[in-house]
Structure 1
Amino acid sequence: MTAVTASAPDRSPADGVGPKNRVRLDVWITYWLFAAFYTALSVGVVFFGRATPPPRPDVTDLQVAQWFDKHQWSIQAGFAVLLVLAGGAAVSNGIIGYFMKRMSSGSLLAYAYIAGMGVGAIPGFHLLLVCWLTATFRPDRDPAIQHMLYDLGMLSYNGSLGCFTAAYTVLAIAILYDRNHIFPKWFAYISIWQIVTEVLATQMWVFHSGAFAWNGMITFYVAVVVFALWIVCLLPILRNATKAETAHTPPLYPAEVTR
C-alpha cells in the first residue's frame, strides 16, 4: 500500500509567491461577510425594525395597532432586506466553527456550536421578522391579533435562550481546553457572561414591566452590553486568526489517498 499526497510544488519565499505569502482568500471573504452581516443586522433592527431598543410590553391592543401603523414602512423596508440577508447568520456561525475545528479540543464542539446557533437563529431572529412583517402586511387586521404577533416577535427575539446558552457553553469549553491558541483564553470568560445574560432573560416571560421585562435593564440592556462587547472582541480575534491562515497552514483534511 502506498500513500499519495496532493501538494503544491515548493517555492522559495524570495520569489514572492511562496506558500507563506499567499493568504486564504476564502477565509478572508467569509470574515468580511461576517462583519457585514452584523453591521446590516444592527442597522436593520435599530433604525428600521425598531426592535432595539425594544418597545414596551405593557401596552394595549390599540396602542400596538397604532405602533405598527406608525412604523409600518420602516419595518417592511428594513425587515424585508434582513430576510434576504438572513443567510449571513450561517456564514457567521461557519467561520467561528471553522476556527473551533482548528482547536485541539476537537471537531465535536465546533459542530455543536454551529448546530446550537443555527437552531437558535430561527426563533432568535427569523421569527421576529416574520411576525412583524405579517402584522404590517394587513394594517386593518384585528388589533388583538397584531398584539399577539407583537408579543410573539419580541419574546422570541429576546427570550430564545436554550440554543444560545448551549452554543456559548461549548465555545467557552473549546477555548479553555484548546492548546493551539486559536482564540485567547479571556474570550471564553466573555462567552460565559453571555450564558449568564441568557439565564437572566428567562424572567421576561413573567414580567410585563420593570427591570425583568423584555425591555428591562437587567434582562435586555445588560445583555446588549455583554453581546456588544462579545462582538467587538470577536471581530479582531477573528481577524488575527484569519491573518494567520495562509496557504502554508495545514488543511483541516489533508488531501491523502491510501491504496
Structure 2
Amino acid sequence: MHIRTQLISLWLAVFFGAILVIAFLAFPGFFPPMSPLTPANEVADFYRDNAPMIRFSMIVFDVCGVMLVPFYMVVVEQMKRMSTPTQVLPYAFLAAVATGTTLFALSNLFWLIAAFRPERDAELVMLLNDMAWITFLAPVSMLLVQCLTLALAIYLDARPQPIFPRWVGHLSVVTAIALVPSAGAALVTSGPFAWDGAISFWLRIVVYSVFLVVLIVVAWAAVKRQAAEEQATASVAAEPVGAAQ
C-alpha cells in the first residue's frame, strides 16, 4: 500500500472516528444504557418517542463504522512488513475485522428496523431491541482474534526496529482479556455483566476505544518510518557507483 494511501486512510480514521463519537452521544439509548429488564411497552414507547434521533444515529453508525476499514487495512499492511515466520497473522486479523464490521452493521440495522415502524406490536419491537443489544455487545471472538493476532505478530517481529513497540502487544493482550466478560450480555439480564452493566457495556466501549486510538497513533508512526526507510533506500540506489567508494 502506497505511503500516501496509508496516510489518507489514517486521516479518514480520525475524521470518521470523531463522527462516530458524535453518533454515540446522539443515541438516546446509551445514556444510560437501556436495561434488559425494561418492559415491552416501555421499550416500544422509547422507540416511538425517539425514532428520529435513533434513525439518525444508526445511519451514521452504519456509514462511518465501515469507513474505519481502510485504517484496519493500514494495520494489516504494517503487520505484513513485520519479520515474522508466516503471513497468516495479518490475514487472520483481516478476517476478524471483516467479521466484526459485519456484526457491528447488523446491530445498527436491528436498532434502525425497530425505529422504522415503532407502532408495531411491542413484543416485536422488544425482540428487535434484544437482537440489537446482544449483537452489539455479546460477540467477542472476532475482537479476541484481532487483539491476539496483533499481539503475537508484535512478539514474533524480529526486525531490529520493530514495526510496533512491544508494549502495544501487551496492551492488545490486556484488551482481549478485558473484552471477554462482555459475552455475559447474552446470558444475564441484570448486574455488571448485563448489556447495561459497567463491565459488558462501559468497560468494553472504553477499553476498545483506547485500543483503537493507540493503534492509530502507532500505525501513524510506523507509516512515517516506512516513508523514511523507502526514501533512504531510494537515495542510496540513486547514488553514483563512484560516490559510494
Superposition TM-score tier, normalisation by shorter sequence: 0.7 to 0.9
Change (3 A) 1:100 1:49: farther
Q: Give the Cα–Cα distance (whole angstroms) in 2 for the partners of residues 50 and 99 of structure 1.
A: 37
Q: Which runs of 5+ in 1 are unaligned?
A: 1-22, 251-259
The structural deviation recorded for 1:220 is 2.2
**Structure 2 counterpart of 1:162:** 141
**Structure 2 counterpart of 1:214:** 195
The structural deviation recorded for 1:218 is 2.1
**Structure 1 counterpart of 2:98:** 118
| 1:229 aligned residue (210, 225, 231) | 210
Is the 1:45–1:52 contact (alpha carbons within 8 Å) kept by the matching residues of 2?
no
Matches within 5 A, 1:99-110: 99-105=78-84, 106-110=86-90
| TM-score, L = length of structure 1 | 0.81
| 2:226 aligned residue (242, 245, 258) | 245
Of 182-191 and 198-207, deviating more is 198-207
The structural deviation recorded for 1:49 is 6.2
Of 42-51 and 186-195, deviating more is 42-51
Is the 1:173–1:188 contact (alpha carbons within 8 Å) kept by the matching residues of 2?
yes
Is the 1:83–1:126 contact (alpha carbons within 8 Å) kept by the matching residues of 2?
yes
Matches within 5 A, 1:181-200: 181-200=162-181
Query: Which deviations, in whole Å up to 9, do the C-alpha atoms of 1:152-199 show, x marking residues without a partner?
Result: 101110111111112211111001111231111111111112211232
| 2:154 aligned residue (147, 160, 175) | 175
Structure with bigger RCO (C-alpha 8 Å, 6+ apart): 1
Give the secondary-structure state (helix, strand or coil) at the position aligned to 1:35.
Answer: helix
Q: Does 1:58 align with 2:37?
A: yes
Query: Percent identity of the aligned residues?
Result: 27
Q: Does 1:133 align with 2:112?
A: yes
Is the 1:31–1:242 contact (alpha carbons within 8 Å) kept by the matching residues of 2?
no
- For residue 222 of structure 1, what is the amino acid of its counterpart? L
How large is the Cα RMSD of the aligned pairs? 2.0
Q: Does 1:81 align with 2:60?
A: yes
Is the 1:51–1:154 contact (alpha carbons within 8 Å) kept by the matching residues of 2?
no
Give the secondary-structure state (helix, strand or coil) at the position aligned to 1:68.
Answer: helix
| TM-score, L = length of structure 2 | 0.85
Of Structure 1 and Structure 2, the greater helix share is in: 2
Is the 1:79–1:133 contact (alpha carbons within 8 Å) kept by the matching residues of 2?
yes
Change (3 A) 1:225 1:107: same
The structural deviation recorded for 1:248 is 5.1
Would you identify which runs of 4 or more consecutive aligned residues in structure 1 move more than 4 Å? Answer: none
